[in-house]
């Protein structure tokens, strides 16, 4: 009996140790990456770099065009993917029946979330650039990334809606609320933190995407920031890739600095979403 307990304790401790090691490995790799990038790129970071445009001379090159490209594309993606994705999830979760067709749709959405992003690039090229004649524009790029983000938005929103207790819905229905009143007043506010978490994940993935945008023809050398939805554009990952592939060592520093800017953009987006989420959580508790 006693030795059995000792053995189980040892197992417990062993597992805890392994879990800790794995965590350290993951965080360590991330830290090494960030430190390395910082060492390479910090010296290039300056207001001129952020506000600058591409140049053949590495020390004069900047990233403004790509930063603005990324921001515009992700804005288009958000505007398309969030209402469509959240709306589809609400329909599937709250209105849809548990029919065979619904199950088929569910499986397909799950599969879509795992489709390689370049496939979405090909779809975007065929659908938006050619068929809808959007050209190689910010609009086409944002729409393509929206396709990519949609399955993740739908899945995570459904998950968040499913986590809202049935008793809350019943309480609302029992007072004579319609389905929509129940969803809007009770379900969505409670699900909001979960929905926002899903949006963070989906949009963070989209902003780092390169392959689908190259596929639809985002140009690797643009010397201006997009001034409309129909402008040609480039985005940060493409610009970074462009610099990395150059032989001159000075451009490597630019690439590292570009990565830092991309990370900052990502962190800003996440911080905004977390701030929104916390606000909803507080409101939910009041």
Partner 1 sequence: MSTPSRPLGPSMPSLSGIATRDRTPTVPSQPPKIAVDGLNFFYGDVRALQDISVNIHPNLVTAFIGPSGCGKSTFLRTLNRMNDIIPGTRVEGQVLIDGEDIYAPGTDVVQLRRRVGMVFQKSNPFPKSVFENVAYGLRINGMAGTRSEVAGRVEESLKAAALWDEVKDRLQESALAMSGGQQQRLCIARALAVRPDILLMDEPASALDPIATQRIEELIYVLKRDYTIVIVTHNMQQAARVSDFTAFFWLGKLVEHDRTDKIFTAPSEKLTEDYVTGRFG
Q: Give the count of residues interacting with partner 1 (CB under 8 A).
A: 23
Alpha-carbon radius of gyration of the chain: 23
Q: For the segment 14-53, give every residue that binds partner 1 (CB under 8 A).
A: none
Q: For the segment 93-112, give every residue that binds partner 1 (CB under 8 A).
A: 97-98
Output 97 or 228, the one with its CB closest to partner 1.
Answer: 97
Output 114 or 174, the one with its CB closest to partner 1.
Answer: 174
User: Which segment (3-11, 143-151, 185-193, 269-277) binds partner 1 by CB under 8 A?
Assistant: 185-193
Output 106 or 263, the one with its CB closest to partner 1.
Answer: 106
Question: In angstroms, what is the minimal distance from the CB of 178 to partner 1?
Answer: 5
Token duo for residue 54: 């591409």
Residue 285 as a binder of partner 1 (CB under 8 A): the answer is: yes
Query: CA angle 56-57-58, nearest 5°?
Result: 110
Residue 170 as a binder of partner 1 (CB under 8 A): the answer is: yes
User: Which segment (30-38, 63-71, 108-116, 163-171) binds partner 1 by CB under 8 A?
Assistant: 163-171
Residue from 78, 144, 172, 215 touching partner 1 (CB under 8 A): that is 172
CB 136 within 8 A of CB 218: yes
Q: For the segment 207-246, give every residue that binds partner 1 (CB under 8 A).
A: none
Question: In angstroms, what is the minimal distance from the CB of 258 to partner 1?
Answer: 44
Mapping DSSP onto H, E and C, the string for the chain reads CHHHHHHHHHHHHHHHHHHHHHHHHHHHHHHHHHHHHHHHHHHHCCHHHHHCCCCCCHHHCCCHHHHHHHHHHHHHHHHHHHHHHHHHHHHHHHHCCCCHHHHHHHHHHHHHCCCCHHHHHHHHHHHHHHHCCCCCEHHHHHHHHHHHHHHHHHHHHHHHHHCCCHHHHHHHHCCCCCHHHHHHHHHHHHHHHHHHHHHHHHHHHHHCCCHHHHHCCCCCCCCCCCCCCCCECCCHHHHHHHHHCCCCHHHHHHHHHHHHHHHHHHHHHHHHHHHHHHHHHHHHHC
Residue 91 as a binder of partner 1 (CB under 8 A): the answer is: no
Question: In angstroms, what is the minimal distance from the CB of 187 to partner 1?
Answer: 11
Q: How far is CA 50 from the centre of its chain?
A: 22
User: Which segment (72-80, 122-130, 183-191, 220-228) binds partner 1 by CB under 8 A?
Assistant: 183-191
Helices 138-162 & 188-207 angle (0-180, nearest 10): 140
Residue 169 as a binder of partner 1 (CB under 8 A): the answer is: yes
Question: In angstroms, what is the minimal distance from the CB of 101 to partner 1?
Answer: 15
Q: For the segment 265-284, give every residue that binds partner 1 (CB under 8 A).
A: 284
Question: In angstroms, what is the minimal distance from the CB of 22 to partner 1?
Answer: 36
Question: In angstroms, what is the minimal distance from the CB of 75 to partner 1?
Answer: 32
Residue 249 as a binder of partner 1 (CB under 8 A): the answer is: no
User: Other CB atoms closer than 10 Å to residue 260's CB: what's the count?
Assistant: 18
Output 77 or 172, the one with its CB closest to partner 1.
Answer: 172
Residues that bind partner 1 (CB under 8 A): 97-98, 165, 167-178, 181, 185-186, 189-190, 284-286
């Amino acid at each position: 009996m006693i030795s059995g307990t000792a053995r189980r304790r040892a197992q417990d401790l062993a597992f805890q140790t392994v879990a800790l090691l794995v965590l350290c490995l993951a965080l360590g790799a991330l830290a090494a990456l960030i430190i390395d990038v910082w060492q390479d790129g910090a010296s290039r970071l300056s207001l001129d770099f952020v506000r600058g445009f591409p140049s053949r001379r590495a020390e004069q090159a900047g990233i403004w065009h790509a930063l603005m490209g990324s921001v515009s594309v992700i804005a288009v993606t958000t505007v398309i993917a969030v209402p469509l994705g959240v709306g589809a999830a609400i329909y599937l979760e709250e209105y849809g029946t548990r029919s065979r067709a619904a199950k088929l749709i569910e499986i397909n959405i799950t599969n879509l979330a795992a489709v390689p992003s370049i496939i979405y690039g090909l779809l975007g090229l065929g659908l938006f650039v050619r068929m809808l004649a959007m050209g190689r524009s910010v609009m086409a790029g944002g729409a393509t990334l929206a396709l990519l983000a949609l399955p993740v938005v739908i899945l995570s929103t459904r998950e968040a809606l499913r986590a809202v207790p049935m008793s809350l819905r019943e309480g609302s229905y029992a007072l004579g609320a319609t389905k929509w009143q129940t969803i809007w007043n009770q379900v969505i506010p409670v699900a909001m933190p979960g929905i926002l978490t899903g949006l963070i994940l989906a949009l963070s993935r989209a902003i780092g995407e390169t392959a689908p945008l190259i596929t639809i023809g985002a140009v690797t050398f643009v010397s201006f920031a997009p001034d409309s939805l129909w402008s040609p554009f480039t985005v940060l990952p493409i610009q970074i890739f462009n610099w990395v592939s150059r032989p001159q060592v000075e451009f490597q520093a630019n690439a590292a600095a570009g990565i830092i800017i991309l990370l900052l953009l990502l962190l800003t987006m996440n911080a905004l979403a977390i701030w929104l989420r916390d606000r909803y959580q507080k409101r939910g508790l009041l």
